[in-house]
Amino acid sequence: MAATAMDHDGGEVVTPGELLGNSSLLAGLGAYADGRCVRASITGHRRLVPPPPGSTDQRSTVEVVGHKAHGAVPQPGSVVIARVTKVMARMASADIMCVDSKAVKEKFTGMIRQQDVRATEIDKVDMFQSYRPGDIVRALVLSLGDARAYYLSTAQNELGVVSAQSITGGTLVPISWTEMQCELTGQIEQRKVAKVE
Partner 1 sequence: MEYVNPLTGFRVDGRRPNEMRQLKGEVGVVARADGSALFEMGNTRVIAAVYGPREVQNKGQQVNSKDALVRCEYRMADFSTGDRRRKPKGDRRSTEISLVIRQTMEASILTHLMPRSQIDIFVQVLQADGGTRAACINAATLALADAGIPMRDIVTSCSAGYLCSTPLLDLNYIEDSAGGPDVTVGFLTKMDKVTLLQMDAKLPMDTFETVMDLAIEGCKAIANYIREVLLENTRRLECQRG
Quick one: which segment of 35-43, 48-56, 114-122, 165-173 binds partner 1 (CB under 8 A)?
Answer: 35-43
Residue 42 near residue 30 (C-beta atoms within 8 A): yes
Give the binding-site size for partner 1 (rule: CB under 8 A): 36
Residue with Cβ nearer partner 1 (28 or 174): 28
- CA nearest neighbour of 163 among 97, 91, 113: 97
133 binds partner 1 (CB under 8 A): no
Residue 30 is a binding residue for partner 1 (CB under 8 A): yes
Residue 77 engages partner 1 in binding (rule: CB under 8 A): no
Question: What string of DSSP letters covers 71-135?
Answer: PP---TT-EEEEEEEEE-SSEEEEEEEEETTEEEEEEEEEEEEGGGS-SS-GGG--GGGT--TT-
Task: Name the minimum Å distance from CB 56 to partner 1.
Answer: 26
Sign of CA dihedral 94, 129, 76, 83: positive
Per CB under 8 A, the list member of 10, 53, 55, 70 interacting with partner 1 is 70
Residues lying near partner 1 in the complex (CB under 8 A): 3, 5, 7, 9, 13, 15-19, 30, 32, 34, 39, 41-45, 66-71, 73, 75, 105-109, 144, 147-148, 150
